[in-house]
Structure 1
Amino acid sequence: VLYFADSLGSMDAVQTSRTIGVLRREWNGPLGIHTHDNMGRALVNSLQAMEDGVSWIDGTVAGMGRGPGNAKTEHLVIEVAERRHTPLDVAPLLSLVERWFRPLQLEYGWGTNAYYYLAGKFGIHPTYVQSMLTDARFAGEDVLAVLDFLRRSGGQRFSAEALETGRSFYDEKPS
């Protein structure tokens, strides 16, 4: 299986299809996709990949994953069952989500938000957002200022030095 990942969580369905097309020209084996939910597109991109013939689709219960998380397994199984016209008893899975995973999500704080969305939109590595959200030195306007700095200077790869430069670059609110 050859996997590809939307590591920045910024792809849309058209870009997903294009990527699959490029991979298909060079690879005859099975394909897999791993999506991140920075912009709330993990499910849509996973379903697009399935329509385009990708046979391995990653998902995690309640989207559990670093930062904004991944495609939610519970959403994927509902959509796949509908597309395949297969009966589905989703109650046990949803019970598992509510009983065990929702408390973990509240404790560890994964899931998308406006900062991850902006990072995805600007092609900025999500570790920047994750680092800022867990650092008391960053208030909301600081996060926005650093994202603006990274948008202009390039933030596709995480660098602690770039994060510190962005933090010290702005003394005022972002433009």
Structure 2
Amino acid sequence: MKHIKRFAFAILVILSVSCSSDDDSSSSQNENNITVGASVYEMKTAMVEPSIGNKIYLNITNKKEDEITAAINGTTLNNVDMFSARINALDLTPNITYNLSEISSLEFVVDGEFIGADFENGLSQFYLGDGTSDLRVVDGSITVLDYAMETISLSFSFTRADGEEITGIYKGAYLYQTSNDE
């Protein structure tokens, strides 16, 4: 009987280790990221904020929800990567693609800081705007795949003036912020 118990325990341990290693490999591959050329930036939290004037703000960052909430409330937060877009719409709509003509502001800044609830500093990877900078976005769109009460799923693809391709995807929960303008 002792041998059967030991054998059963050994089989259980082997199965646990086998399942554990499979689970670890799949969970370590976060599909929420922004890729700029060869650089990949992991994203952890999305925020949606409506505004007066038929605009909705979309932010995606590399920090966790509790860190972003604390930063919004004034806690200093360092090493922040922040994707920001202002879309000319009343709200985000599932299965809709927003082209550059429907996006009034777009930027991705890495290694910035939240200081006193304001996002500052950092290094711009791309932006939407005038000028001759190679970092300007010249083509692309954001597609909202799903937008429900608790989750959002979106993807985007842009091209900078220097030809660098930018892609991004976010699937998961999001923070819904009410605008201070309202």
TM-score with structure 2 setting the length: 0.21
- Kindly indicate which of the two structures has a greater share of residues assigned to helix: 1
- Kindly indicate which of the two structures has a greater share of residues assigned to strand: 2
Structure of larger gyration radius:
2
TM-score with structure 1 setting the length: 0.22
